[in-house]
Structure 1
Amino acid sequence: MIKALIIDDEKHVRDQIKDRLADQFSQDIHVIDEAPSVAEALTKINIHEPDLVFLDIDIIGGTGFEVIERLEEVNFQLIFITGFNDQAIKAIRIGALDYLLKPIDDEEFSNAVNRAIKAFKNDDSIHDAVDVANQFYNGNHQNKIVLRTLEAHHVVYLEDIIFCKSDGNYTTFNTTKEKIMISKPLKLVESLLNKAVFLRCHQSYVVNTSYVTKYTNEGCLVLKNGEEVPVASRRKDAILKRLF
């Protein structure tokens, strides 16, 4: 039986989650406790050692991000809860952490809990993904991003990203060290990258302008690693004006 802890400063939300778990997942999940604040959350996580935590981003005494940052280990599955669909949520999606938007949709709730049950495991790298989301939440400058693949969480510094390439609902990050493919669309990836550095040069490409060396007559940008990425004809003039 999976032990669940619900952390939210709104009692009706905590009650709603408990009721849904009782109705849909009574054979798999048991709610062991609940908490409305950062202080109580930390205490109850240490006491109960839950397997699954529902964690509101804005709670009494701080944020859900602070709860995670103050834990030495994260030995549980995590589902964030929030009333705001903002940059922090985009970062959470990129890091493949689960989240629920208030008011909580029945189908999204069921899907998130089912994923948590299937993925039940210890993953200490969750700290990195939460740290990045927290930086976006606080509006701080970003120098890294966390990418989730089937194998691991990858912490990638933005300065190491040469370009990103779209393949349907997947995006491949071509970095100075490796290639990393994630199951997220390029549009979402682009929204988290610094627009002063990264440039959408084509429907399928976002390039780090610091790696661009020249523009060819064939309509491509040549990068420092020797690779070429295409430039959409309708974007050509604006891109050349910006880069050269």
Structure 2
Amino acid sequence: MIKALIIEDELYIRKGLKSMIDLLDKDIDIVGECESVQEAITVTKACKPELIFLDINLKDGIAFDFLDEVKDLNFKVIFITAYDQYALQAIKNGAIDYILKPVDIDELSNAIDKIKDIPLENKEHLAIVQQQLVHKKKEHLVLRLQEGYQIIRFDALMYCKSDKGYTTFYTSDNKSYLASKPIKDFEDQLPDELFIRTHQSYVVNLKFVDKYDKTGYIFLNSGVKVPVSTRKKEEFVSRLLS
């Protein structure tokens, strides 16, 4: 049996993850659950797990604070997070895999199989897996909303609009989702080949652009009118023509 620890600040996610692990029946023994950095440090040093399922944002800090404190211990890490922008930092900290929330049981199964094939001493094998993770292409964004998590596929996201620290995401099926973070917190998660910042309050998916009016407005194929700031005009026109 592989001794494992779940470090996650949301109780319902810990319960759901534990249920999936039990259902998969892959000889994983959950020896503890933690919701904060300090608790995780204490439990990890006491239990010495071989595997940790690790969330990024914890009650009193972030996962990398925890990893800095226990870097002398030997364990494998599978990151489970709602934020794709942390992937490279996770890899640099020795992650075997990372899974975006909401957790898909098939992805979880594959990640567990992967860690079983990699001895901690085999640095060369680990480096190959980490390189594969760098090139792992994501096709969706995960929003943390009041009622839970919402998956939005990049190819269905028409544009984002920011207002007073909130961002609304508009999709091609005429739905919208409000997140309580500014647009700059999401911009790095959107693929550059599809999206462009046209204004301090707008990010647009070029796939849905129907027309650009020289007076400074984009018209999407849904009929929505989006401004292009003077500062962004040259970059936008260049991207549009290319």
Question: TM-score with structure 1 length normalisation?
Answer: 0.53
Structure 2's unaligned 5+ residue stretches are: 8-36, 54-61, 91-100, 112-129
Count of aligned positions: 159
CA distance in 1, matches of 2:183, 2:156: 17
Q: Shift in Å at residue 19 of structure 1?
A: 9.8
CA distance in 1, matches of 2:212, 2:195: 16
**Letter paired with 2:133:** N
Q: Shift in Å at residue 208 of structure 1?
A: 0.3
Residue 211 in 1 paired to residue 208 in 2? yes
Structure 1 residues 86 and 226, CA gap change in structure 2 (3 angstroms): closer
Residue 159 of structure 1 corresponds to 155
Which of residues 224, 231, 235 is equivalent to 1:234?
A: 231
Question: TM-score with structure 2 length normalisation?
Answer: 0.53
Worse-superposed segment, 234-243 or 200-209: 234-243
Q: Shift in Å at residue 236 of structure 1?
A: 1.1
Structure 1 residues 202 and 35, CA gap change in structure 2 (3 angstroms): same
| Alignment check: 8 A CA contact 2:84 2:189 kept | no
Q: Secondary structure at the match of 2:188?
A: helix
Worse-superposed segment, 159-168 or 234-243: 234-243
Residue 124 of structure 2 corresponds to none
Structure 1 residues 223 and 91, CA gap change in structure 2 (3 angstroms): farther
Q: Secondary structure at the match of 1:192?
A: coil
Which of residues 95, 114, 133 is equivalent to 1:138?
A: 133
| Alignment check: 8 A CA contact 2:49 2:75 kept | no
Residue 87 of structure 1 corresponds to 85
Residue 169 of structure 1 corresponds to 165
Structure 1 residues 239 and 138, CA gap change in structure 2 (3 angstroms): same
Structure 1 residues 239 and 203, CA gap change in structure 2 (3 angstroms): same
After TM superposition, list the pairs within 5 Å mapping 1:163-202 onto structure 2: 163-177=159-173, 178-202=175-199
Residue 99 of structure 1 corresponds to none
**Letter paired with 1:174:** Y
Identity %: 32
Structure 1's unaligned 5+ residue stretches are: 8-15, 22-29, 43-53, 69-77, 93-124
**Letter paired with 1:127:** V
| Alignment check: 8 A CA contact 1:145 1:156 kept | yes
